[in-house]
Structure 1
Amino acid sequence: MITISELYVYPIKSLGGISLTTAEVTDRGLKHDRRWMLVDENNRFLSQREYPVMALLRVEITDEGLRVSHKQINESIIVPFVPVNGQPCRVTVWDDTCGAVYVSDEADAWFNRMLSLNCRLVYMPEDSHRHTDTKYTSGEEITSFSDAYPLLLISKASLDDLNSRMAEPLPMERFRPNMVIDGTEPYLEDIMQGFEINGILFKGVKLCARCVMTTIDQQTAVKGKEPLKTLASYRLKNNKIMFGQNIIYIGRGIISVGDEANNIQFHTSERFMVSA
């Protein structure tokens, strides 16, 4: 039996994630997931890839909005669910440009001070539709400020297998999944073409190529060599290191830890052999 064992959202792109027991599946991912984003003076997204210090900002969901706090400095700010500024703008995520609104001058000043960066906080409103890559999807699906797709799936067994190959194990937070499943063999998510949970049909569309962000300690912002060094020894495909499966879906609703995946379909086009 394959079940959901963990659920996560990352409300502000590239900042800390939040573990959930129940999540709402919306039109563009889990509710609140990557609906906010920090941008530079050219309105291009900021990431831990270039600014590891972003790992030091923790995010919580409260009744008033997002509470963002610094892990090493006793300071925090509440980011309201409804932007105070609301001025529309265009922002860039990788090769995509989409609509957003500025949040507030107060938020901009706080993030500038915490990160020592010239940045602004933006929000994706409901009328902003950023479409997924038509090379792997129909193009009708939309996503938030995520890298490319609305959900990322990883199995617990895959992380357990990776950790068995390394001197020091790493937590799941390094890989920033939305959904973690249990009850599988390692890397079974590679070939999960489709599955159903609570009437929502999920579809695996592309293995996830991993970057240097996985090497950043989320508690200290210190960059290392793992897990990419180990993953490269057995999860390299077309010069890219693969770990996890990008997911799209049909339907809306609620999913929870413990929910079972049904009507699972598999394919072999994305699976590749791993060394012992």
Structure 2
Amino acid sequence: MNYVVKELYIYPIKSLAGITVQSAKAEEMGFEKDRRWMLIDEENQFITQREYPKLSQFYPNIKGNKIEISHYDSTHEFLIEESLNEPVFSKVWDDESMVVEVNKATSKWFSEALGFSCKLVKILNKGDRKHNSSRLNQTLNVSLADGYPYLLIGSKSLEFLNEKLKEKVTIQRFRPNIVISSQLPHEEDFFDAFQIGTVKFQNVKPSGRCVMVNNNPKTGIVFKEPLKTLSTYRTSNNNVFFGTNIFSLNEGTIAVGDDLTFKI
């Protein structure tokens, strides 16, 4: 069987739109620049599309040493390296996360666009957020992603779902980092260790999905699908699964077109 990388995505700011890329540098915390930023409210709680579906309508773009955000007819940019010096203590779910505000102007722009006070913050150092994995019985240095550093999805999993849906959905609903060509629906759930390019990965567990997959990334409007249909055949222990969580065992660059192999 031949598995090939079809698409790669990074999501610089947690819960905003993603960026499709031709290659990406794999790091312990996830792809370089993937979910290194997030929005927090006045109580320093992280903000996602679960509560604010319109976050999907903010589109980041990396331009040299800057990140530009487009939101309808408004744009804003900030330097990738910039941040204020004062630490902010937040959480991503149960994981304590030390972050820093990017700058006051950027926080003001997001606050005005969203209609409530918030800050854009950044994780600076490996180890500023640790995720304790009961499945692995180890602690991982992670970014500001929900849990694990990477999400991998096989192409047949999406095809199988779309066969059951009246209105087809795109892979962007599921916010993967790596999309591979596959032969069987959800066979990626059962991968163990594998390699793409020079990077070795370890599978952790299938990814439990939430209402965010019902948010149409093109419109920011939430319906009942595809979670309703997925729940009819992908439910276990009250979780609905789609795609699988993985982490990297070393650093390196992977690219669209690379083979996925199990000889590591």
Q: Tell me whether the two structures share a fold, i.e. TM-score over 0.5.
A: yes
Give the drift of 1:99.
1.0
Q: Which residues in structure 2 correspond to 1:51-130 (within 5 Å)?
A: 51-70=52-71, 73-130=72-129
Confirm or deny: 8 A CA contact 2:3 2:260 kept in the other structure. yes
Confirm or deny: 8 A CA contact 1:83 1:123 kept in the other structure. no
Give the drift of 1:84.
4.0
1:252 aligns with 2:257: no
Match of 2:132, SS? coil
- Partners of 1:127 and 1:238 lie apart in 2 by 33
**Between 127-136 and 33-42, the greater mean CA deviation after superposition:** 127-136
What is the identity, as a one-letter code, of the residue corresponding to 2:44? N
Q: Name the structure 1 match of 2:4.
A: 3
Confirm or deny: 8 A CA contact 2:215 2:221 kept in the other structure. yes
- Spell out structure 1 runs of 4+ moving beyond 3 A: none
- Partners of 1:84 and 1:242 lie apart in 2 by 36
Confirm or deny: 8 A CA contact 1:10 1:16 kept in the other structure. yes
Q: Name the structure 1 match of 2:210.
A: 211
Confirm or deny: 8 A CA contact 1:192 1:264 kept in the other structure. no
Match of 1:106, SS? helix
Give the drift of 1:64.
3.1
- Partners of 1:264 and 1:95 lie apart in 2 by 35
* Aligned residues between the structures: 263
Match of 1:121, SS? strand
Confirm or deny: 8 A CA contact 1:38 1:120 kept in the other structure. yes
- Partners of 2:122 and 2:237 lie apart in 1 by 35
Give the drift of 1:264.
5.8
Q: Name the structure 1 match of 2:46.
A: 45
Structure 1 residues 201 and 84, CA, compared in 2 at 3 Å: closer, same or farther? closer
1:239 aligns with 2:228: no
Q: Which runs of 5+ in 2 are unaligned?
A: none
- Partners of 1:15 and 1:60 lie apart in 2 by 11
Q: Name the structure 1 match of 2:192.
A: 193
Give the drift of 1:199.
2.8
Q: 1:195-245: CA deviations, max 9, x gaps?
A: 112232211111111100000111211110100011011101111111010
Structure 1 residues 203 and 128, CA, compared in 2 at 3 Å: closer, same or farther? closer
Give the drift of 1:91.
1.2
Structure 1 residues 85 and 131, CA, compared in 2 at 3 Å: closer, same or farther? closer
Calculate the aligned-residue CA RMSD, in Å.
1.4
Give the drift of 1:107.
0.4
- Partners of 1:195 and 1:127 lie apart in 2 by 24
Match of 1:76, SS? strand
Q: 1:135-190: CA deviations, max 9, x gaps?
A: 02243421100000000010111001100110011011100000001033111101
Match of 1:261, SS? strand
Q: Name the structure 2 match of 1:12.
A: 13
Give the drift of 1:128.
4.1
Structure 1 residues 237 and 264, CA, compared in 2 at 3 Å: closer, same or farther? farther
1:131 aligns with 2:130: yes
Q: Name the structure 1 match of 2:181.
A: 182
- Structure 1-normalised TM-score? 0.92
- Structure 2-normalised TM-score? 0.96
Q: Which residues in structure 2 correspond to 1:24-35 (within 5 Å)?
A: 24-35=25-36
**Between 74-83 and 252-261, the greater mean CA deviation after superposition:** 74-83
Match of 1:77, SS? strand
Q: Which runs of 5+ in 1 are unaligned?
A: 266-276
- Partners of 1:257 and 1:104 lie apart in 2 by 34
- Partners of 1:84 and 1:207 lie apart in 2 by 35
Structure 1 residues 204 and 139, CA, compared in 2 at 3 Å: closer, same or farther? same
